[in-house]
Amino acid sequence: MSERTRIVLKSGKDQSLRRYHPWVFSGAIKKIHGIAREGELVDVYDNHDEFLAAGHYQQGSIAVRIISFEQVETDQGFWDRKIAGAWSLRENLGLTGNDRTNVFRWVNAEGDGLPGLIVDYYGGVAVVQMHSIGMFRNLGALVEALKKVAGEQLHTIYNKSETTLPDKPGITGKSGLLLGKQERGEVLENGYRFNVNWVEGQKTGFFIDQRENRKLVGEYSKGRKVLNMFGYTGGFSIYGMGGGAKLVHSVDSSGKAIDLTREHAEMNFPGDKRHLAMAVDAFRYFKEMKESYDLIILDPPAFAKHQNVLNNALQGYKRLNQRAFEAIAPGGILFTFSCSQAVSRENFRKSVFVAAANAGRNARILHQLSQPADHPVSIYHPEGEYLKGLVLMVE
Ligand code: SAH
């Protein structure tokens, strides 16, 4: 059907594609027929000339990111169908046209069959983050598809790929507005108001993946003294206040994040004296703090960005959680998270349990948390399950 570049896999290396895993590692390739250009659509075959899948080629450890297990042309219709399929899932989840929540993940890379592409939706604004050259090459078609699928409600599209695209000659993935002029805006999450700055904020501007876990914090906060550690823009803090906390202290090492947290507290609970935000290092805060808390949230940045620093990361989780176990009041509730893809659920649990034992505290698991449904995980790509959390009652 096509004159496309063909990638032939070594004998036995076809197994993972037959199980619909969406990556081809460079070591699995036997031969390339034609010239594989960065980001080009290539067809992948097994050693006996059987077609397996089509995907975007890129030089590096992951050589092909699969976008279809059937022979396809990536014309406008292909992207329209993919983006519409992703939107339809969020529609089914009740996230589109929702008057209490207008922020959600529209496209979650492998979880939506689109490796290399993240799209977050902030009430009429799509923030596009590309992680592969293949997606970058199709940006024009993707933007058309986004506009077609969301229609008039979509007034702004921002490309935020400058730091996420790999460094390749000839590729200038400069961030910038692709539609509209807005660089920040207000969103609603479960009825709470947040300012999101997609140009300057971390990730695409807001940590959308904690929406449901924040809600659970709200449910546990009544009458408690809450410490929101690694609070960023204070998402958990706002839910804690809404849930009737006695006091809420937000800690983050970034002064900018703390300014935003104060802004959010004021927007949602004007003049409320229960909230205090502090720009200080987490470990230092634990060492010097005077207050005793009976609800602590630990949501640190990814400690392990790669498999080879896994041990250090696990040590990091252990040390951090140990501080929290030492500090928390008897009967306290600990919400503890890891957003490192390289850290498995089991390894994270072990680190937390060792931390409790080292601190001499007994604890019970009340909830095991994950990412919400607008961050779906393909069963063939379990690596996509990055967010892990535990809610523990500490005796
Ligand atoms: N809980 C947040 C997301 C946390 S992201 C939310 O719901 O939106 C991780 C945050 O940890 C970042 O804001 C970063 O500034 C902060 N951080 C990183 N290292 C830190 C440290 N050593 N002490 C305190 N905060 C830190």
Task: Write out pLDDT tens, residues 34-85.
Answer: 999 999 999 999 999 999 999 999 999 999 999 999 999 999 999 999 999 9
Residue of 229, 233, 253 to mutate, ligand 1, most atoms within 8 A of C-beta: 253
Minimum CA distance residue for ligand 1 atom 1: 231
110 C-alpha vs ligand 1 centroid, how far in Å?
A: 26
CA distance 31 to 54: 16
CA distance 4 to 341: 33
User: So what's the pLDDT on residue 306?
Assistant: 75
pLDDT band at 169 (very low <50, low <70, confident <90, very high): confident
CB-based burial label for 333 (10 Å; 0-12, 13-18, 19+): buried
The alpha carbons of the chain give a radius of gyration, in whole angstroms, of 23
Bridging pattern class, strands 275-279 and 247-252: parallel
In this predicted structure, the answer to whether residue 304 has a pLDDT above a threshold of 90 is: no
Cα-based distances in Å from 212 to 168, 268, 370, 373? 38, 18, 9, 10
- For 273, residues 6+ apart whose C-beta sits below 8 A from its C-beta are none
In this predicted structure, the answer to whether residue 322 has a pLDDT above a threshold of 70 is: yes
143 C-alpha vs ligand 1 centroid, how far in Å?
A: 31
User: So what's the pLDDT on residue 155?
Assistant: 98
The encoded tokens of residue 10 equal 């070594």
Ligand 1 cavity residues, CB under 6 Å? 207, 210, 230-233, 235-236, 252-254, 257, 281-282, 299-301
Q: Across all residues in the chain, what is the average pLDDT?
A: 96
391 C-alpha vs ligand 1 centroid, how far in Å?
A: 19
More confident residue, 78 or 174: 78
pLDDT band at 173 (very low <50, low <70, confident <90, very high): confident
Residues 220-243 have a mean pLDDT of 98
Which residues carry out catalysis? 339
Residue of 203, 206, 232, 297 to mutate, ligand 1, most atoms within 8 A of C-beta: 232
User: So what's the pLDDT on residue 38?
Assistant: 95
In this predicted structure, the answer to whether residue 252 has a pLDDT above a threshold of 80 is: yes
pLDDT band at 3 (very low <50, low <70, confident <90, very high): confident
DSSP line for 24-36 = EEGGGEEEEES--
Residues 323-327 have a mean pLDDT of 97
In this predicted structure, the answer to whether residue 1 has a pLDDT above a threshold of 70 is: no
299 C-alpha vs ligand 1 centroid, how far in Å?
A: 7
User: So what's the pLDDT on residue 309?
Assistant: 84
Minimum CA distance residue for ligand 1 atom 13: 232
229 C-alpha vs ligand 1 centroid, how far in Å?
A: 7
CA distance 343 to 350: 11
Residue of 208, 230, 285, 323 to mutate, ligand 1, most atoms within 8 A of C-beta: 230
In this predicted structure, the answer to whether residue 305 has a pLDDT above a threshold of 80 is: no
Atom of ligand 1 nearest to the CA of 254: 15
The encoded tokens of residue 142 equal 């993707």
* Residues above pLDDT 70, as percent of the chain: 99
302 C-alpha vs ligand 1 centroid, how far in Å?
A: 10
Residues 362-377 have a mean pLDDT of 98
42 C-alpha vs ligand 1 centroid, how far in Å?
A: 40
- For 196, residues 6+ apart whose C-beta sits below 8 A from its C-beta are 103, 122, 184, 185, 186, 187, 205, 206
User: So what's the pLDDT on residue 211?
Assistant: 98
Atom of ligand 1 nearest to the CA of 207: 8
Cα-based distances in Å from 38 to 44, 79, 173, 320? 15, 19, 14, 41
- Return the bridge partners of 64, or none: 24, 57
Atom of ligand 1 nearest to the CA of 299: 1
Cα angle for residues 35, 40, 41 (degrees, 5° grid):
105
Task: Write out pLDDT tens, residues 343-354.
Answer: 999 999 999 999
User: So what's the pLDDT on residue 2?
Assistant: 54
pLDDT band at 171 (very low <50, low <70, confident <90, very high): confident
Minimum CA distance residue for ligand 1 atom 11: 230
Residue of 120, 208, 252, 323 to mutate, ligand 1, most atoms within 8 A of C-beta: 252
In this predicted structure, the answer to whether residue 170 has a pLDDT above a threshold of 90 is: no
- For 229, residues 6+ apart whose C-beta sits below 8 A from its C-beta are 251, 282, 285, 296, 297, 298, 299, 300, 324
